[in-house]
Chains A and B, each alone.
Chain A
C-alpha cells in the first residue's frame, strides 16, 4: 500500500490524505472491463473464495482497486473519489459512455490552480470524478 502510517504529531499536515481507495462492484468483470476501457489499462486481478479484486496500475503514488464480494456495495451516494485522468481528462471521459457508464457532469473548469473535473456513474452505479490539469 502507498503512504505511511500517520505519526501522532499534532497540527502537522499529512503527506497524502488518501492512502488507498476501493470501488465496489457486484458484476466484477463488467466493472473491470469498464475501467480498463476508459483508462486504456490492463488491471491485474486477484480472486479468492469470497472476493475478487482488480488493481489500478500505479508506480509509487496512491493506488486503489475494484472489489467485489461481501460488503462491497456500489452506490452513488457517499464520498466522491477523484480519479487521476492525466493531463487532459477528455480522452478518458469520451470512453465513459461507450464503456457503459454515464456522464452526469461534463468536463468543468474548477480554477487555474485546480484544473478540470467531470463526474460519471460507472456501470455498477458508483459516482466518481475525473480530474486533470488541462
Chain B
C-alpha cells in the first residue's frame, strides 16, 4: 500500500533557500548596477530584482535581522534607482548572513555606513561578547504598534544586561509556528491575547518547508483558546523555550493546564520593563551550569590538598622534571579542576544533594525525562545499570541480537534469559537492518502460549542503529503494550542523543513517546477508542491497543552524549520515564548504579555533560538541523557528480528498508532532477526510517573492500577518520560539529580517490584488469550469508521449544577450563555432519559488525560457520584462529543426564522396583 505522491522541493531547508536567495539577489543587483540606467534592459532587470525582493520578503519576515524595516529601506533604494549603493548594501548583508557573524554584533545592520570589514564589538561593560537571541511576539498588531513595542523594549534595555535580543512580531498562530520552524535563534515566545489562526503570507516558496505546520488544523477552535494552544505546541516541539502569555482573562478564570503551560502569565501587563526582565531571567536560568560553574569556582580557590590525588592543582605535574610537558599540553585549568573533593560547591555523584543534583534535574528537563542520571563510563555502563536494575535471574528479556555487546554482558550479570530477536539482513551490503515489529509480537505470543508471559520483563532495542535505522517507537510501544501492558522498554539511544532536539527525530525517541503515550492512555478519548477497537476485533485477532486500566509506561533510554553531542568521551546519560520508578525500581536502580559507578567519577566528564546540556537547550535545534542539512548536501554532491557516482553510491532509504516497511513510499531523500523529498510523512508513519546523518557509501565498484578503503585511502592519504565499515561499504556521519568545510574536504578527497582509481586502471595490465574485475564482481555480486540467531542448546533452554536461554549458566560453566575444548574452524562442519552438536562456550564478536554471532550456550549452525569462514576482518573477539572455536565438551551438554542406581543393589527384588 504505497502512497506514491511525494512532496519535494529544490532546497533541502529554508536556510538553504534563504542564503541562496540572498546570493541571487546580490548577483542580480550587481548586474543591475552595470547596466546603463533607464535602458529597457535596466528596467527589465529592475523589475526582476523587485520580484526577487518579493520572494525573499516573506522568508525574512520570520527573522529579526536584517528585519523588515531594513528590507523596506532596500526596496526604497531600488525605487530611487540607487543601484550602486543597493548592490553594496546587499553584498554586505549577504556576507553577514552567510558567515553568521551578525550574531556577535546584532546592531551591525543598523549602522548606516557598514564598510567592508566589520569589527565585532557589542559587549557588556566588562567587554565580553553578549549572547544574542530573538524573541517571538505573537499578536495581531499594526506596524506602528510593532515599532512602538520595539522602541519601548529598547528603552528598558541597559548595557548591564547579560544578554542581547531583538524581537520578531508574528500576527497569526500559523505564522508563529512557521517562525519557530525557520528561526532557530528564537529563545522565548510571548503570546499576547488571542492571535487569529490563519497566516496571510504563506507563499508557494515556503510551503514545502512547513508541512508540519500545515498539517495542524486549528481553524475551528475559538480564538480565545488559540493562545494557550500555541503555548502547548511550543512546549511540545521546542520545550526548551520560555513561553509567556499576556491575557485579559483574570487568573482565576484561566484553565489549569493554561497556567501550567506558560513560564509566566501577565495580566494585561503593559509593564514593558517587567516583561524585559522576565525574558532575561528565563534565559539566565537556562544558561546556568551548576556543576560546571562549581568546578570553575573550585579551581579558583586556593586549597592545600592533604587527601588523595597528587595531580590535583597540578602539584605533581608542574613541579616535575620529567612530566612537565604533560602539564603544558593540557594547561593549568585541567589540573586546577581535578579534585577528589565533594564539598565546596562540588557534589557526590552517588548521592547528589547540590550542584550535581541540580545539573541532573536540568538535564532531565532538557531531555524530557522524569529522572536523568549522569554516567561517566559510557553507555556501555549505562546499559548494564539499567538491565541489572530491572531484571532478576530467570526473567525474560526480548532483545535484538545485534545490539551492543554491553547488553549481552549485562544479561550475563543479571542472569536474565534472553529471547533473541533477529534484525532483517541486508545481505548486499553485509549488514543488518532492524527488528520487524511482527517478529517481536510473534515471540511474545509464543511466550504467552507457553505460560511464560509473566516472566517477560523488558524489550530492549537499539534506536537508532549504527547504520541509521530508526524504529517507529510509538507503534512498537503501543502494539507491544497491547500484549504485555507492564513491559519495560530499554531504548539504546547511544547514537541518538541529538534526536530530542528536532521534531521529526524527536517523535521517534523514547522519552518523547513515553510522555505522549502516558497522556494518551490517561485520556477519556482513548478509553472510547480502545473499547471501540476491542469491540471490532475479529475472532482470534490480537488487540493493537493497550488496555488503559492495565497499561504502565516504563521507558528507559541510554545515550552516549559524547557520540553525538558536546561531552567528553564516556559522558553518557540514563533517562527514565517510568511511572512506577518510585514504587518499583528506584531502590534496585540505585543499587545497580552503585554497582557499576566509580566512587571517583571524572569531574571533567560531568562538567561537560552539564555544559552540553546548556548547549542543546540554546542551540540544539539549530545545530542538529544544520548537521542534517550538511548530510543532505553531501548526499546530493556525491549523487550528482559523474566522477563520484562512477565509483560510489550513497545508499539510501530504499537500499536499507524493504518496501513493506515504508508505507509512505519514500525511497530516497534526494533525487537528481527532482530535488529533496520531504521526509515528514515517512518519519511519522513508516515502520523504519533512515537517519540521513548516517551516510553509508557503497564502494564495491572501486574493487577495494571497506576496511582497506578506511585505512589505506581515507586515513593514510587524507587523515579522514571513520569508524564503521562493512565488506563493501564505509559509513560517514555528520554531527553538530560538522562544518561546511569538512564536508568539502571529504568531497574533494573522494574526487581525488576517484582520479587515482581512474589512473590506476589505465596503467593496469590485462591480467591486473581481470583481477580487478573479479574483485569488483565479488564485492558487488557475491554476498556472504548473514546468519540468524540459531537457538540455545536444550540444556540451556528455559523451556524446550520456547525462546529464552540461560546465558549466565553457560557463561559461568566456561570458567572451568575442563568444561570446554577447541575445534578448528575447518573441522566444524565435518564434525557437525557426523552428528556432533557444537555449542559455543563464549561470545564470538567480529568487528565489524560488532555484535556476537555466537553467545554462550548457543548451538553453532552451518550458516554461522559459513559466515565465520567468509569473514575477512582481522578482529574477532572471543576467537583465536590458531585454536578454533571454543565449544563445550559433550559431558557438559549432558550434565543433567545421569545413571540410575536403581537395581544396582542386588538385594533388591525385581518386584519391589517394578510392581
**Residues of A in contact with B (beta carbons under 8 Å apart):** 30, 33, 76, 80, 82, 97, 100-105, 108, 110-115, 117, 119, 121, 123, 125, 127, 129, 131-133
- B795: interface (CB < 8 Å): yes
- Which residues of B from 214 to 256 have beta carbons under 8 Å from A? none
* Given A82-B902, A97-B801, A113-B903: A104 and B914 interface contact (C-beta under 8 Å): no
Tell me how far the C-beta of A36 lies from the nearest C-beta in chain B, rounded to whole angstroms.
Answer: 13
Among A100, A110, A112, A114, the one with the most B-chain Cβ atoms within 10 Å of its Cβ is A114
CB-defined contacts of B897 to chain A, threshold 8 Å: 104-105, 119
Interface residues of B in 554-595 (CB under 8 A from A): none
Given known contacts A30-B451, A102-B797, A110 and B900 CB-to-CB distance under 8 angstroms: yes
A133 nearest in chain B by CB position: B914
Asked whether A108 lies within 8 Å of B900 as measured between CB atoms, the reply is: yes
Query: Which residues of B are found within 8 Å of A76, using beta-carbon distances?
Result: 896
CA distance A76 to B802 in the complex (A): 19
Q: How far is the CB of B912 from chain A (nearest CB, A)?
A: 9
Minimum Cβ distance to chain B for residue A127 (Å): 7
Kindly state whether residue B757 has any CB partner on chain A within 8 Å.
no
- Quote the shortest CB–CB distance from A95 to chain B (angstroms): 13
B913 at the interface (CB under 8 A from A): yes
User: Is B870 an interface position by the 8 A CB rule?
Assistant: no
A110 touches B903 (CB 8 A): yes
Please judge, given known A-B contacts A30-B451, A100-B451, A100-B799, whether A105 and B896 are in contact too, CB under 8 Å.
yes
**Is B450 part of the contact surface with A, judged by Cβ < 8 Å?**
yes
Contact status A100-B450, CB under 8 Å: yes
Residue B423 CB within 8 A of the other chain: no
Q: Across the interface, do B800 and A117 meet the contact criterion of CB distance under 8 Å?
A: no
Q: Can you give 20 contacting A-B residue pairs, CB < 8 Å?
A: A80-B898, A97-B799, A100-B452, A101-B799, A102-B794, A102-B799, A102-B800, A105-B897, A105-B898, A108-B900, A113-B903, A113-B909, A113-B910, A114-B903, A114-B913, A119-B896, A119-B897, A123-B451, A123-B799, A125-B394
Task: Tell whether, in the assembled complex, residue A110 and residue B451 are in contact, meaning their CB atoms are under 8 Å apart.
Answer: no
Cα distance, A131 to B913, chains bound together (Å): 9
Interface of A is mostly: strand
A132 proximity list for chain B (CB < 8 A): 914
Contact of B902 among A105, A121, A131 (CB under 8 A): A131
Give every chain B residue within 8 A of A103 (Cβ-Cβ). 800
| A124–B909 CA distance with the chains assembled, in angstroms | 34
Q: Which residues of chain B are near A101, meaning CB under 8 Å?
A: 799
Beyond A100-B802, A104-B795, A104-B897, 15 extra complex contacts between A and B, CB < 8 Å: A97-B801, A101-B799, A103-B800, A104-B794, A105-B897, A113-B908, A113-B914, A115-B902, A115-B913, A119-B897, A121-B896, A125-B394, A129-B900, A131-B902, A132-B914
- For B915, the chain A residues whose CB sits under 8 A away are 133
The reply to whether B914 and A119 form a contact with Cβ atoms under 8 Å apart is no
Q: Which residues of B359-398 are within 8 A (CB) of A?
A: 394
Residues of B within 8 A of A82 (CB): 900, 902
* Chain B interface, number of residues (Cβ within 8 angstroms): 24
In the complex the two chains form, is B896's CB within 8 Å of A104's CB?
yes
Which residue of chain B has the shortest Cβ distance to A127 in the bound complex? B896
Chain A residues, CB < 8 A from B450: 100
Who on chain B is nearest to A97 by CB?
B800
- A2–chain B nearest beta-carbon distance, Å: 15
Residues of B865-915 contacting chain A, CB below 8 A: 896-898, 900, 902-903, 908-910, 913-915
Contacts of A111 in B (CB 8 A): 903
Find out whether the CB atom of A119 lies under 8 angstroms from the CB atom of B898: yes
A133 to B914, CA, bound (A): 5
Cβ of B351 to closest chain A Cβ, rounded Å? 34
Considering the complex, which residues of chain B in the window 724-743 have a beta carbon less than 8 Å from any beta carbon of chain A?
none
Query: What residues of chain A lie closer than 8 Å to B394, measured between beta carbons?
Result: 125
Which residues in B have their C-beta under 8 angstroms from that of A125? 394
> In the assembled complex, which residues on chain A have CB atoms less than 8 Å from the CB atom of B902?
82, 110, 114-115, 117, 131
Shortest Cβ gap from A93 to chain B (Å): 12
Q: How far is the CB of B794 from chain A (nearest CB, A)?
A: 7
Q: What distance in Å separates the Cβ of A33 from its nearest Cβ neighbour in chain B?
A: 8
Q: Which of B451, B797, B900 contacts A114 (CB 8 A)?
A: B900
Give CA–CA (A29, B606) in the complex, Å.
Answer: 50
Cβ A117 vs Cβ B900 within 8 A:
yes
**What's the nearest-Cβ distance from chain A to residue B701, in Å?**
52
Q: Within the assembled complex, what's the spacing in Å between the Cα atoms of A119 and B894?
A: 12
Q: How far is the CB of B358 from chain A (nearest CB, A)?
A: 43
Point out the residues of chain B lying under 8 angstroms from A102, CB to CB: 794, 797-800
B155-186 CB mask vs A (1 if < 8 Å, else 0) is 00000000000000000000000000000000
Complex-state Cα separation, A33 to B913, whole angstroms: 28
A97→B801 CA distance, assembly (Å): 8
Residues in B whose Cβ lies below 8 Å from that of A33: 451
| Chain A residues with CB under 8 A of B797 | 102
Within 8 Å by CB of A115, from B798, B799, B909, B914, lies B914
User: Quick one: CB contact mask for B639-662 with A, threshold 8 Å, 1 for yes?
Assistant: 000000000000000000000000
Contacts of B908 in A (CB 8 A): 113
A125 CA to B795 CA in the complex, in Å? 12
Q: Which of chain A's residues has its CB closest to B913's CB?
A: A114
Interchain CA distance A54-B223 in the complex, whole Å = 68
Please report the C-alpha to C-alpha distance between residue A76 and residue B898 in the assembled complex, in whole angstroms: 13
> Which residues of A are found within 8 Å of B914, using beta-carbon distances?
113-115, 132-133
A113/B900 contact (C-beta < 8 A), A100-B450, A102-B800 known? no
Q: Which A residues touch B909, using CB under 8 A?
A: 113
Q: Which residues of B contact A119 (CB under 8 A)?
A: 896-898
Report the bound CA distance from A114 to B908 in whole Å: 9
> Quick one: closest B residue to A113, CB to CB?
B910
Complex alpha-carbon distance, A10 and B910, angstroms = 25
Known A-B contacts A102-B794, A102-B799; the reply to A113 vs B913 at CB < 8 A is yes
